[in-house]
Amino acid sequence: MSSVAAQIPRAISGPKHRAPVWWMILPALVLLVGFLILPYVSIVIMSFREASTRAVYGEGFTIAHYRDIVTDPFIWGIVWRTIRMALIVTVATLLLGYPVAYHLARTRSRMSSLLYICVISPLLVGLVVRTFAWMIILSNNGIANGALTGLGLVDRPVQLLNTQLGVTIALIHVFLPFVILPLLGNLQAINPEVALASRSLGASRMRTFFKVTLPLSMPGIQAGSILVFVLSISAYVTPAMLGGTQGRTMAVLVVQYLVDNFRWPAGAALAIFMALTTLAIVVVYLALTARAMRRLP
Amino acid sequence: MNMGRTLWDYAFLGIVTLIYIFLMSPILLVVLMSLSGGEFLAFPPQGISLRWFGELFSNARFLSAALHSVQLAAVSAVVNGVIGTLAAIYVVRFAPQKLANGLRLLMSAPLLVPEILTAIALLFFFFEFGVGNDYPIAIQTGHIVVTFPYVFLNVASALFNFDRSQEEAARSLGAGNWMTFRRVTLPAIKPGVITGCLFAFVISFDIFNISLLLKPVGMTTLPLELFDYLRFNFDPTAAAVATLSIVVTFVAVLIVDLTVGLRSLRF
Amino acid sequence: MTTLTLDRINKFYGTLHILKDIDLKIGQGEFISLLGPSGCGKTTTLRCIAGFESISDGRIRFGERDMTNVLPEHRDLGMVFQSYALFPHMTVAENLSFGLEVRKVPAAERASRITRVLEMVKLGEFSGRYPRELSGGQQQRVALARALVIEPQVLLLDEPLANLDASLRDDMRFFIRDLQQRVGITTVYVTHDQSEAMVMSDRIVVMNRGVIEQCGAPRDIYERPASLMVADFIGHSNTIPGQIRGRSEAGYLVDTADGPLHAAGTEGLSGEVRVMIRPENIDMASGENTLTGRVTKSIYQGEDCLLMVELPSGAGVTTSVSADFSLSAGDPVTLGFPARKSWVIAA
């Protein structure tokens, strides 16, 4: 402890006494470089290894796995299905999340703390728990079917578990807070007098929203949508629990390769492929929204 | 503030309310189910009973899984509490301007990459080094890595918002540097540290992907056990487990709100 | 261009009565300031005129039109906010164009009006810039331009100079006033700075705790304040407590603990009062009114000396003397001031 005392004080006292303080960041650097960055490199390496029937991987290196992925229609089917689902979830969470964030940013009621808890508590409750709740809701004698048959919209219970639809609905619920929080932060940062200025100039509330508030909330929209998209594509627990074989996604397939089939190199290649497709889509999205972002401070 | 509530305003409030209900109801549902008297997870529940909690507490597997989850979470919180705070102090106070942004990005990296990929990466990495799943080191490291940013960001935020003139005031009153740090700075950032550690604990408690791939033989966590249980059983015991999880989380959130105030949180 | 009438405005916030019987008639092209300490209700009144706050009772009229229940966007006013509230994602020209587009002004006319107004505020070359590229003073002028380009009936300004440096503030006061007179627009200006209000306004409305204390031309407010609050709020004043004993040539004869004083005042005053005398009207020799006392502090201020005098009764008087006078603490002094410059205020 005395060495700590010797190091910290001099650094805080100002530029004159530069004792070495880099040691403070060392453990974190070791953790992140050694146990995050390097491991990711090992995925790449693994994806080029030869497969083996007797061990998780064999001798030598090959690009066969990538070739297999790119030429396999089954895999493309799952890739496309996963991307489509992620896009639907992203759009849906934006449409549902924006009103909530807008309301929460402008409300002055004392309920606002409680409402904030309502927004973040699903995040903290755990993925398995939330997905389990959806299992209850979506099952054949669950609430969803109860409501549908009760309202007379269908004659018999609709199969919602083990379908893509069920997974999509559950993911929308799971990721809604991830879109609300960045939007909320952004909306709260906008000077409230700007909206008043717009109205004083004659713009209706609708026009004020579309011409002033919405453009100024683009950073929040961008951040939230990217976050939800990436989370949706790589989601494992929810598709695994709710999707069955119909609702299988890329992440579920990868885990299957690794854990069930012990095909580590192939699994690694698929994982890299998943990461690259996600990255490509995000880059395209950033490029498309760059114009709207350029005007902003 | 706006003059006159129009029909649009009420419609808007209605929609927002529905979305809030959508957000909260699955959780409320699970709690409700855990109190159900019936045999199956059907809605509406038949009767109220605590028997499923009884089942839970007499189920050795769940209890041992819960214990492991708590262990992993506690170690994650403590380890990250130390290295995260040190890192945050360095990045906010001492890092050269050019490095600061890059370092911040690195420290937040576990949040920016999908957890499943991190799990896979660590799986391969530990295997290459011969450690594999024999020891809990792999799973514990995974938990620590993934929950690190929560501590770092909270402490960094607290430091950033801390008014340095308090330190200058202390020094002008004759306090030495170490004393200033110990009695002025540290207490001021303590809420940030505690909040970060609580978040690390709660997030670690619920981690699934990392635990799935890195768990050693004979050890399991609560989320994994629940997942396995649900493959073959669909009874309210699972709901009781889930409710326990929810209670743990809400208690932690309540502690944070009462001590620090939720709006001060940074993810 | 229109008159603005506030007809007995009352506003409740729950059980708090924050505006009490605000009654005001503002003439066409007039510049009036709402002046008072924070919390007096001046900003709330302005926001009621704008329509951003609702009123519990009373009416607001622009000319003949009753605007009480009209939405802000339909009131045809121009407003300048304390934070300027420029649209950060639009250029200066686009900011100005916004209100014109709402009014469906054709493009060619929009362009010419924008150019003309930017010239008026001397920001002709800045039309393509974004607000973040402008200094505080420039942003302020853009906010003003944006409010004027739509040629509204009424101009409202909410402490627009509060965020500027002191020297810039002085320049901007004259700038805004000149502009307003040239355009001839009815203007309501909120400020807590009394010298600002004095310099710029045709009339000043002094507010305190939701009530109008006095409404009048700057000279009236300064020389003939209606209450103690107004006297203390505007400029420096000395107020000496006393009792009205009778009438005199100038107005009233007031008995004080330090001797009788002759002073002017409004009709019908009696009983407990205070006599106000401004420091600049006090001479270092006896006059129509004379007080004697001792110097407690003499503070050199460069252009003059601030003198604090204690009277036998314990009351204090502040005045200023030329720096050549060599008076120091403890010296006896004689203070004299004319009766017609002394003013009686009800206590």
Q: Where do the structural domains in chain C lie, given as residue ranges?
A: 4-228, 236-346
Q: Tell me what pLDDT residue B39 has.
A: 62
Instruction: Please state which CATH number belongs to domain C236-346.
Output: 2.40.50.100
- Total tally of structural domains belonging to chain A: 1
Nearest to B2 by CA among C246, C65, A15, A199: A199
- Whether residue C93 is predicted with pLDDT greater than 70 in this model: the reply is yes
- In the block, residue with structure tokens 């990045």: B91
Identify the band that residue A123 occupies on the pLDDT scale cut at 50, 70 and 90.
Answer: confident
Domain assignment of residue A263, given as a range: 72-294
Does the pLDDT value for residue C183 go beyond 60? yes
> Cβ separation of C51 and B1 shorter than 8 Å?
no
- Which amino acid is present at C343? W
Specify the fold of B60-264.
MetI-like fold (1.10.3720)
The answer to whether the CB of C316 falls within 8 A of the CB of C296 is yes
- For the full predicted model, state whether its pTM sits above 0.90: no
Handedness of CA A39, A42, A44, A46 (dihedral sign): negative
* Domains of chain B by residue range: 60-264
pLDDT number for residue A154: 73
pLDDT at B31: 80
DSSP 8-state secondary structure symbol assigned to residue A50: P
Give per-residue pLDDT as tens, A53-102. 777 777 888 888 888 888 999 989 999 999 999 999 999 999 999 999 99
Q: Which residue of A has its CA nearest to C155?
A: A200
Q: H/E element holding C292? A: strand C289-300
Residue B263's pLDDT is: 54
Q: Number of A:B CB contacts under 8 A?
A: 250
pLDDT tens readout for residues A185-218 = 899 999 999 999 999 999 999 999 999 999 999 9
Can you tell me the distance from the alpha carbon of A28 to that of B87, in angstroms, rounded to the nearest whole number? 6
The verdict on a CB contact (< 8 Å) between A126 and B206 is: yes
Q: Tell me the residue ranges of DSSP E strands in chain A.
A: none
Residues in chain B closer than 8 A to C54 (CB atoms): 3-4
Residue range B35-51: mean pLDDT, rounded:
66
- As for the ipTM of the complex, it is 0.82
Q: How far does Cα A118 stand from its chain's mean position?
A: 19
Measured between alpha carbons, how far is A90 from A84 in angstroms, rounded to an integer? 10
Domain for residue A167, yes or no?
yes
When pLDDT is averaged across residues A112-116 and rounded to a whole number, the result is 83
Domain annotation covers residue A10: no
Q: What is the mean pLDDT of chain B?
A: 83
In chain B, the percentage of residues whose pLDDT exceeds 90 is 28
Tokens 């399991």 correspond to B220
Does residue A56 lie within any of the structural domains? Answer: no
Q: Which among A40, A127, A267 is the nearest to B206, CB-wise? A: A127
Q: What is the mean pLDDT of chain A?
A: 85
Q: Would the pLDDT of B42 be above 90?
A: no
CB contact under 8 A, C52 and B4: no
The CATH number of residue A152's host domain is: 1.10.3720.10
Q: What digits encode the pLDDT tens for the residues B170-228?
A: 888 888 777 888 888 888 888 889 889 988 998 899 899 999 999 888 889 999 988 88
CA-nearest residue to B34 within chain A is: A133
* Shortest Cα–Cα distance, A119 to chain C (Å): 29
| One-letter-per-residue 3-state SS of A226-268 | HHHHHHHHCCCHHHHHHCCCCCCCHHHHHHHHHHHCCCHHHHH
The pLDDT value recorded for residue B265 is 52
Pick the residue from chain B with its C-alpha nearest to C51.
B3
Nearest beta carbon to residue A200 from set C50, C83, C87 = C50
What is the overall mean pLDDT for chain C?
91
Mean pLDDT of B53-81: 88
Chain B residues closer than 8 Å to A184 by CB: none
Judged by a CB distance cut-off of 8 A, whether residue C54 touches chain B is: yes
Contact (Cβ atoms closer than 8 angstroms) between residue A232 and residue A90: yes
pLDDT at res. C206: 96
Tell which residue, C236, C238, C269, C233, has the closest CA to residue C251: C269
CA-nearest of B243, B245, B228, B239 to B41 is: B239
Q: Tell whether the model's pLDDT for residue B117 goes beyond 70.
A: yes
Tell me: pLDDT of C258 over 70: yes
Predicted local confidence at residue B237, as pLDDT: 80
The predicted pLDDT at position A278 comes to 92
User: Please, which pLDDT band fits residue C56 given cuts at 50, 70 and 90?
Assistant: very high
pLDDT band at residue A134, thresholds of 50, 70 and 90?
confident
Looking at residues A136-153, what average pLDDT do you find? 77
Residue A229 pLDDT exceeds 90: yes
Quick one: pLDDT at residue B262? 56
Residue C212 bridge partners (DSSP): C207
Q: What angle do CA B101, B106, B107 make, to 5 degrees?
A: 95
Q: Is residue A142 part of a domain?
A: yes
Greater model confidence, B142 or B264 = B142
Peptide bond between residue B44 and the one before it cis (omega within 30 degrees of 0): yes
C117 with C147: CB under 8 angstroms? no
Q: Provide the token pair at C69.
A: 């229940």
Least confident of A116-125, B143-152, C99-108, C247-256: A116-125
Q: How confident is the model at residue B45 (pLDDT cuts 50, 70, 90)?
A: low
At A126 the pLDDT is 76
Question: Stretch A111-121: mean pLDDT, rounded?
Answer: 82
CA distance B243 to chain C (A): 42
pLDDT digits (tens, 9 = 90+) for B237-263: 888 888 888 887 778 777 777 776 655
Is residue C239 a contact partner of residue C69, using CB atoms and an 8 Å limit? no
What subunits touch chain B, counting only 3 or more CB pairs under 8 A?
A: A, C
What is residue A6's predicted lDDT score, i.e. its pLDDT?
A: 47
How much is the pLDDT for A37? Answer: 92
Residues in chain C: 347
Phi then psi dihedrals of residue A2, to 5 deg: -70, -30
Element housing A185 (H / E): helix A164-189
**% of residues, chain B, pLDDT over 70:** 90
Higher pLDDT, C246 or B236: C246
Report how far residue A160's alpha carbon sits from residue A141's, in angstroms, rounded to the nearest whole number.
11
Q: Measured between alpha carbons, how far is residue A59 from residues A56, A268, B194, C39, C101 in Å? A: 11, 16, 48, 80, 71
- For residue C303, what are its two tokens? 């252009």
| Residue A31 forms part of a structural domain | no
Q: How confident is the model at residue C277 (pLDDT cuts 50, 70, 90)?
A: very high
Flag whether pLDDT at C125 surpasses 80. Answer: yes
pLDDT of B4:
56
- Judged by a CB distance cut-off of 8 A, whether residue B137 touches chain A is no
Confidence of residue A12 (pLDDT cuts 50, 70, 90): very low
Q: What pLDDT is recorded for position B40?
A: 61
Residue B63 is predicted with a pLDDT of 87
| Structural domain contains residue A57 | no
What are the two backbone dihedrals, phi and then psi, of residue B138, each rounded to the nearest 5 degrees?
-65, -50
Interchain CB contact of A275 with B (< 8 Å) = yes
Given this model, what pLDDT does residue A18 score?
52
| Contact assignment for A116 to B89 by CB distance below 8 Å | no
Beta-carbon contacts of A73 under 8 Å, excluding residues fewer than 6 positions away, are: none
**C53 interfaces chain B, CB cutoff of 8 Å:** yes
Residues of A with Cβ-Cβ distance to B116 under 8 angstroms: 234, 236, 251, 254-255, 271
Q: In A, which residues are within 8 Å of C86 by CB distance?
A: 194, 197
pLDDT computed for residue A19 by the predictor: 60
Q: Is pLDDT above 50 for A11?
A: no
Tokens of B14: 């209605």
| Bridge partners for C208 per DSSP | C211
pLDDT band at A246 (very low <50, low <70, confident <90, very high): confident
pLDDT value at position C176?
93
Cβ burial, residue B185 (10 Å; 0-12/13-18/19+):
buried
Q: How far apart are the first and last CA of chain A?
A: 45
The yes-or-no verdict on residue A109 having pLDDT over 80 is no
Q: Alpha-carbon distance A5 to A249, whole Å?
A: 53
DSSP B153-221: HHHHHHHHHS-THHHHHHHHTT--HHHHIIIIIHHHHHHHHHHHHHHHHHHHHH--HHHHHHPPTT---
Task: Note whether residue A256 is domain-resident.
Answer: yes
Pairwise CB contact (< 8 Å): A133 & B20 = no
Say yes or no: C73 contacts chain A, CB-CB below 8 A: yes
Tokens matching residue B66: 């819960």
pLDDT at C278: 92
Please tell me if residue B122 touches chain A, with a CB cutoff of 8 Å: yes
Looking at residue A13, what is its pLDDT?
A: 46
> How sure is the predictor about B29, in pLDDT bands with cuts at 50, 70 and 90?
confident
| CATH number of the domain located at residue range(s) C4-228 in this protein | 3.40.50.300
**Predicted local distance difference test score (pLDDT) of residue B264:** 52
